[in-house]
Amino acid sequence: MRYLFIIAITSLLLSCKSEQQQYHFRTLTEDGKSYEILDSVLIKTRDGAQIAAMVVKPGEIKEPGTSILFHTVYARHDDIKRAKKAADKGYIGIVSYTRGKAWSPDDPIPYEHEANDTYDVIDWISRQKWSDKRVGMYGGSYVGFTQWAAAKKLHPALKTIVPSVSAAPGIAEPTENGVYVNFHYPWFHYVMEDKYLADSLYSDWQRWNNLYLEWYKKGTSYRSLDSLDGFPNREFNKKLDHPVYDNYWQDMMPYKEDFAQIDIPVLTTTGYYDGGQIGAMYYLKEHMKYNKNANHYLLIGPYTHFGAQSVPDKEIGNYTIDPVAQINITETIFQWFDHIFKDASRPELLKDKINYQVMGTNSWGHASSLKEMNNDTLRFYLNDKVSGELFESTFSGKQQHLSLSRQKEEKRSYAEQEVDLADRRDGKQNNYFSPFVINETLTLGNGISYVTEAFEEEFEMNGSYLGELKLSINKRDLDCSMVLYEQTPEGKFFKLTLAYVGRASLAKDKSKRQLLTPGEISSIPLGNVRMSSKKIGKGSRLVLVLNVNKHPHAQINYGSGKDVSDETIADAKTPLKIKWYNDSFIEIPIRRKQ
C-alpha cells in the first residue's frame, strides 16, 4: 500500500514538473531592454480545450513576479507588444486568447466559456515557478467582459481587475435594452472566421451597409440576414434564440448574488460617448448593489469606446474636450497596478470612488457614490402643448418643440405619433442617429422634440436621467429611442450622451417579456440610460427627442407580439399609432452651486 502511495505521489510530481518544463524562455534584447519570452504556450482547461498564451518577463528580474493578464478574442500578430508593455512596467506580461484563437487547435467560441477558461489560465499562472501567485487583469470592450467573467468565480490569485468600456452579453451586446443592433452581425465573422482576425471581411462596410439596406427594403425577418448575405452566421443566429436575459447569458458573467463575493479592488473606465458604457455601468451598479463594501472606482469623461481604454481623442464629434480631460488612461491603469501590487499611492485622479469630468468646466468632480454626484433633481413632464420655441430642424426647416414642463397637468392629454412600419420610402425612417456632439441643427428623424424653459442659473447635470413613459399603442410592443441635448442660447444643440434605445416589453424585467395591451395605457420605466456630466449654462434649455425605431441599422419591432427576430414586414399591417401621455416624465440629476 505504501509502495502504491509513493508511486502515485511520484507520478503527480513528474506530471507537474513536465508541465512546468514544457516551455522554455528565450531571451530577447530590444532597444536596450532584455526580455524572457515564452512563445506559443497552450494551457489545457478542465474540459480539455487548449488556450493559446504568451508570456514576457523583464530580463533583469529573477525572483517570482506579479502577472498582468490580458485575455482577448482579438488575436493579433503583434500582441507581444502588449505583453512587453507590462514587462516594461516591472510585471510579467501575459496575453491569452479565447479558446480556438491564435494557435489553439479548437474552434473559436466567443463569450460562452470565458468564465471557466479565465479561471484555468489564472490557475496555470499561479502554479508556475516564475509567478508570485498574484494576477491583475486589464483591457477594454470584450477584454473588459473577460475580466468580469473571471470574477464570476474568483480564483484566489486574481487580486484586481481594471475593465474598460466593458461588453456585457445579454445586457449591452448584441442587444441594447432588448433591441438587437446590426453592427454586431459582422463582428462574429470578424472573430470566428480566422484564427486571428478577418480584418478585410469586417472592414468591408459597403458590403454590410448594402446587406442592411437590402434587409430593410425587403422587410424580411431579422433572422434572415445571413440568408440574404449568402454567408451563414451561426453564432449570431444562436444569440437571436435568446431575446431575453435568460440562463444562457447569466452563466457568462456575474449575476445578482455573484457580485456579493467580488471583494477585490476594481477600477472601471468608460466615457459619455462610449457605446460600451451601458455594460460598464451595469457591472458597477450591480457590484455596488450586492456588495455594500465594494472597493470599486470609476473613471469617466467625454470619451469614446476606444479613447476610454487608452488615450482619448482631443476632439469628439467636433467638440474639443477640456484640457484636464486629456489624460493617458493606459498610464493611469498601470499606476493602479502599482498601487495594488507595489504599495504606491492611488492614482492622483482617483480622489474618491466616482471620478467624472464635468464638460465645460475644465475640472473633475469626485463623489463617494453615484448618488452623491448630485444634490438635486429636476423633473420634467412631456407636455403635448407647443412650446413656442422655434428651432432649426436638419431636414425640415423651422420647427416648434413641444414642452418639457416642471408642473404636471391636471388633465391627462397626449401627443400622437403615427409610424407606418411598412413604409420604406426615403425620408420615412425613424432614426435617432446624430454623428456630432455639437450640432447647428436638430435631427428629429421623424420623432418628437420637447424643450424646457430657459434656465435662469447654471448647474451641473451629473449622472443618468431616469423617468417613465406613459403611452398607449394599437399593437403589443414597440422599440423607442431618446436623445438628450443642451440647446444653447445661440441655438446650437450639444448632445449630452449617446441615445437610449429600449424595448417596451422588457423595460420592467429584462428576463421576461411582458407584452402591452393594445389601447391600454402602459407605464414604461427608463433603465440603463448612459450617464454624462456637463455644465448647463444660464439661458440654455434641455431638449429631449423621442422616437420609435425604424431604420436599417437595428432590429425592427413590428408589434405583433411574436419573437421580433421572426417578424416580417407582413406583420406591420396597420400603422403604429402611439399616444405619448403628458404625465410621462424624465428626471435630471443635477448639482447646484452651494
* CATH code of the domain covering residue 151: 3.40.50.1820
Distance, in Å, from the CA atom of 356 to the CA atom of 365, rounded to the nearest integer, reads 5
Which residues, including other chains, have CB under 8 Å from residue 14's CB and lie 6 or more apart?
none
Distance, in Å, from the CA atom of 374 to the CA atom of 455, rounded to the nearest integer, reads 18
Same domain, 341 and 353: yes
Pairing label, strands 414-419, 397-405: unpaired
Tens digit of each residue's pLDDT (9 = 90 or more) over 410-461: 999 999 999 999 999 988 999 877 789 999 999 999 999 999 999 999 999 9
Domain boundary among 215, 240, 265: 240
Distance, in Å, from the CA atom of 152 to the CA atom of 286, rounded to the nearest integer, reads 13
Helix 142-152 × helix 114-126 angle, to 10°: 80
Domain boundary among 323, 352, 372: 372
| Band (22; pLDDT cuts 50, 70, 90) | low
Domain boundary among 354, 372, 390: 372
Angle 63-68-71 from CA coordinates, rounded to 5°: 140
Q: How many domains does the chain have?
A: 3
What letter would DSSP give residue 181? B
| Band (392; pLDDT cuts 50, 70, 90) | confident
Least confident of 2-6, 105-109, 427-431, 538-542: 2-6
Same domain, 506 and 454: yes
Q: Which pLDDT value is given to residue 395?
A: 84
Tens digit of each residue's pLDDT (9 = 90 or more) over 514-524: 999 999 999 99
Same domain, 108 and 82: yes
Question: For residue 437, what are the domain limits?
Answer: 376-591
Indicate whether 462 belongs to any domain.
yes
Tens digit of each residue's pLDDT (9 = 90 or more) over 125-147: 999 999 999 999 999 999 999 99
Same domain, 411 and 552: yes
Contact by Cβ (8 Å): 533, 271:
no
Indicate whether 9 belongs to any domain.
no
Same domain, 579 and 513: yes
Same domain, 269 and 312: yes
Domain at 464, CATH number: 2.60.120.260
Please provide the average confidence, as pLDDT, over all residues in the chain: 95
| Amino acid symbol at 343 | D
Angle 80-56-102 from CA coordinates, rounded to 5°: 45
Same domain, 294 and 430: no
Q: What is the mean pLDDT of residues 38-64?
A: 96
Residue 234, SS3 per DSSP: helix
Contact by Cβ (8 Å): 79, 148:
no
CA nearest 180: which of 148, 204, 212?
212
Q: What is the mean pLDDT of residues 277-301?
A: 98
Same domain, 126 and 215: no
Indicate whether 4 belongs to any domain.
no
Residue 316, SS3 per DSSP: strand
Residue 505, SS3 per DSSP: helix
Residue 340, SS3 per DSSP: helix
Least confident of 300-304, 426-430, 586-590: 426-430
Tens digit of each residue's pLDDT (9 = 90 or more) over 362-380: 999 999 999 999 999 999 9
Same domain, 414 and 305: no
Same domain, 144 and 208: no
The answer, yes or no, to whether residue 18 has pLDDT greater than 50, is: no
Indicate whether 184 belongs to any domain.
yes
Contact by Cβ (8 Å): 243, 586:
no
Distance, in Å, from the CA atom of 99 to the CA atom of 46, rounded to the nearest integer, reads 12
Tens digit of each residue's pLDDT (9 = 90 or more) over 554-565: 999 999 999 999
| Band (15; pLDDT cuts 50, 70, 90) | very low
Q: pTM score, two decimals?
A: 0.95
Same domain, 406 and 473: yes
Annotate 558-592 with DSSP letters as a single string.
Answer: -SSSS-GGG--GGGT-SPEEEEEETT-EEEEEEE-
Indicate whether 14 belongs to any domain.
no
Same domain, 265 and 116: yes
Contact by Cβ (8 Å): 397, 445:
no
Distance, in Å, from the CA atom of 207 to the CA atom of 215, rounded to the nearest integer, reads 12
Indicate whether 216 belongs to any domain.
yes
Indicate whether 363 belongs to any domain.
yes
| Amino acid symbol at 545 | V
